[in-house]
C-alpha cells in the first residue's frame, strides 16, 4: 500500500475440497454455474487446504489410499514440505507418509488403477511398488487371473522378490499351488529353500 487511490486485489484459483462427484455431474449436465460454499484460505495456505480436503472426505471414507498418496506427493513436491512436516500437518506418522508417497511415485499405472478401484489394498500396493514396473504388471496379472486373496498376494510379491527366474515363472504360472504346495516327500533343494522363505514371510505377516 502507500499510494492513495489504489485498490489492492488478489486473484485466487479455486480448489475443490469436497464434492468432486457432484461437480462432475453438474458439468456433464451442461451447467456453467455451480452453487458452492467458498472457504477463505487459512494462514496455512494450500497445504492447509489439502489437509482440509482429506478431513472433509474422511468420515464416511470416500477417499482412496491413492487419493491420500497424491495429496502427500503434492505437499512434498509442490509445496516443498519435508515428510516430517507433512506427517505433523496430517496428524499421521512418518512411516504412513513414506508408504503413501511410495504409492504415488513407484506404483505402476496399472497398480494405481487397481488401487483406485479398490481391487487391491494399500498393503499390496506398497509391496508391488518395491518391484520394477514391468514385474508389477506380471504379478498383478497373475493375482487377478488366479483370484489370489490379499494376504496370499502380499506373500506372493515377497516370494517373487527373492526368487530366481525359474521360480518366478512358477510363481506366476501357479501362484496358489506354489504358495501352498501339496505335501510330497520329493523336493528340489531350490523348492525347499523357496518354500521355507514363503513360510517365513507368512509368519512375519501374521505377526
pLDDT at 2: 43
Q: What is the pLDDT along the chain (207 residues), one digit of tens a residue?
A: 444 444 444 445 666 666 666 677 767 778 777 767 666 656 566 787 777 777 766 655 567 899 899 999 999 999 899 999 999 988 899 999 999 999 999 999 999 999 988 899 999 999 999 999 999 999 999 999 999 998 899 999 998 998 889 989 999 999 988 877 654 444 566 666 666 666 666 666 666
Side-chain-side CA neighbours of residue 94 (13 Å): 5
pLDDT at 185: 47
pLDDT at 3: 44
Other C-beta atoms lying within 10 Å of the C-beta of residue 147: 10
Q: What is the DSSP string of 128-167?
A: HHTS-HHHHHHHHHHHHHTT--HHHHHHHHHHHHHS-HHH
pLDDT at 40: 64
- E strand or H helix that includes residue 71: helix 65-77
| The overall pTM is greater than 0.75 | no
Amino acid at each position: 500500500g502507500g499510494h492513495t487511490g489504489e485498490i489492492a486485489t488478489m486473484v485466487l484459483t479455486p480448489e475443490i475440497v469436497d464434492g468432486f462427484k457432484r461437480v462432475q455431474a453438474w458439468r456433464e449436465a451442461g451447467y456453467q454455474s455451480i452453487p458452492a460454499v467458498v472457504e477463505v484460505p487459512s494462514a496455512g495456505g494450500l497445504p492447509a487446504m489439502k489437509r482440509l480436503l482429506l478431513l472433509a472426505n474422511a468420515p464416511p471414507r470416500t477417499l482412496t489410499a491413492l487419493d491420500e498418496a497424491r495429496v502427500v506427493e503434492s505437499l512434498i513436491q509442490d509445496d516443498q514440505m519435508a515428510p516430517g512436516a507433512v506427517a505433523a500437518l496430517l496428524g499421521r506418522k512418518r512411516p504412513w507418509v513414506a508408504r503413501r508417497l511410495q504409492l504415488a511415485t513407484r506404483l505402476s499405472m496399472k497398480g494405481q488403477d487397481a488401487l483406485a478401484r479398490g481391487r487391491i489394498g494399500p498393503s499390496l500396493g506398497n509391496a508391488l511398488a518395491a518391484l520394477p514396473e514391468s514385474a508389477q504388471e506380471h504379478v498383478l496379472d497373475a493375482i487377478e487371473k488366479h483370484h489370489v486373496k490379499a494376504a496370499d498376494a502380499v506373500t506372493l510379491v515377497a516370494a517373487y522378490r527373492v526368487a530366481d527366474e525359474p521360480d518366478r515363472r512358477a510363481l506366476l504360472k501357479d501362484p496358489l499351488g506354489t504358495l501352498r504346495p501339496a505335501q510330497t516327500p520329493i523336493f528340489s533343494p531350490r523348492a525347499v529353500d523357496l518354500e521355507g522363505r514363503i513360510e517365513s514371510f507368512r509368519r512375519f505377516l501374521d505377526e
